[in-house]
Amino acid sequence: MTKQELQKQLQESMKARNEIRTSTLRMLLSGINYYEIGKGGAGYEATEEDVLTVVQKEAKQRNDSIEQFRAGGRQDLVDKETAELKILKEFMPEQMNEDEIRGLVKQAISETGASSSNDMGKIMGNLMPKVKGKADGSTVNRIVQEELRA
């Protein structure tokens, strides 16, 4: 998904008067603009990988907010954040299930020769490029720890 495609979807959403989608796309495009500024200013154009990075960051923020609002008893905000997260997930690749992640973790452990939690950095360094955008980092981390204990 490119920034231009997102801008086109924003226009369509505005025409359809879909408020939640419009606000979510605006927020996402704003995040991409900030990312571009951080990367090199006015001359930098976000790549598809950059867009995915911003989408993942925004989705993680929504997940964190949902947990906090749920703990605080704010169902109205939980519903809003959940709706935004659903829209953001449209722009993310299909997520891996735990069995797929576990298989990659076992492969990474054997490739790196890791044997204890002291080797977490080596394993994660090997693993994260393979699962980027397809799995949540905290889930990967949890599975790595489980496999190292096994």
The per-residue pLDDT string of the chain (150 residues; one tens digit each, 9 = 90 and over) reads 888 999 999 999 999 999 999 999 999 999 999 999 988 877 788 888 889 889 989 998 999 999 999 999 999 999 999 999 999 999 988 888 888 888 888 888 888 887 777 888 888 888 888 887 788 778 888 888 888 887
Which pLDDT does position 5 carry in this prediction? 93
Token pair listed for 93: 């690749």
Closest to 105 (Cα-Cα) out of 75, 74, 140: 140
Q: Which of 84, 35, 40, 41 is nearest to 61 (CA)?
A: 84
The predicted pLDDT at position 80 comes to 95
pTM higher than 0.85 = no
Q: Domains for the chain: give ranges and CATH numbers.
A: 3-89 (1.10.1510.10), 98-149 (1.10.10.410)
CA distance 113 to 96: 24
85, 22 Cβ separation under 8 angstroms: no
